[in-house]
């Protein structure tokens, strides 16, 4: 998708991959750790804050890792503020990819 300059398709694939990890493979919570749903809560919060834009998925191994969110540039400041209101300050870090 990126090679074909189709960023919308790329975001869709990121979301589909994230959904597969969470909903189909169910590999975001260690077995027996039902009291610890931090990653599921984080993914759900990101989905809500993105409001159908961008993309989000769990990234990393070991039944957790981190969440990778693709946030539209014009929505980032609001996303960060709202996310950190819920999850804690300094837990959201902006990465920029340049050519």
pLDDT in tens, 5-41: 999 999 999 999 888 887 777 777 777 767 777 888 8
pLDDT of res. 60: 67
pLDDT of res. 92: 93
CA distances from 20 to 12, 72, 84, 89 (A): 12, 23, 26, 29
pLDDT in tens, 52-96: 999 999 886 555 578 999 999 999 999 999 999 999 999 999 998
When computed from its CA atoms, the radius of gyration of the chain, rounded to whole angstroms, is: 14
Angle, helices 38-50/76-87, rounded to nearest 10 degrees = 150
- CA dist 64 and 46 (Å) reads 15
- CA dist 12 and 56 (Å) reads 10
């Amino acid at each position: 998708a990126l090679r074909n300059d189709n960023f919308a398709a790329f975001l869709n694939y990121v979301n589909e991959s994230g959904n597969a990890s969470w909903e189909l493979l169910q590999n975001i919570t260690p077995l027996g750790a039902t009291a610890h749903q931090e990653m599921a809560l984080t993914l759900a919060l990101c989905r809500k804050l993105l409001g159908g834009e961008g993309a989000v998925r769990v990234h990393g191994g070991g039944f957790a890792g981190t969440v990778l969110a693709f946030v539209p540039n014009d929505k980032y400041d609001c996303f960060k503020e709202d996310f950190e209101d819920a999850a804690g300050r300094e837990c959201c870090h902006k990465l920029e990819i340049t050519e």
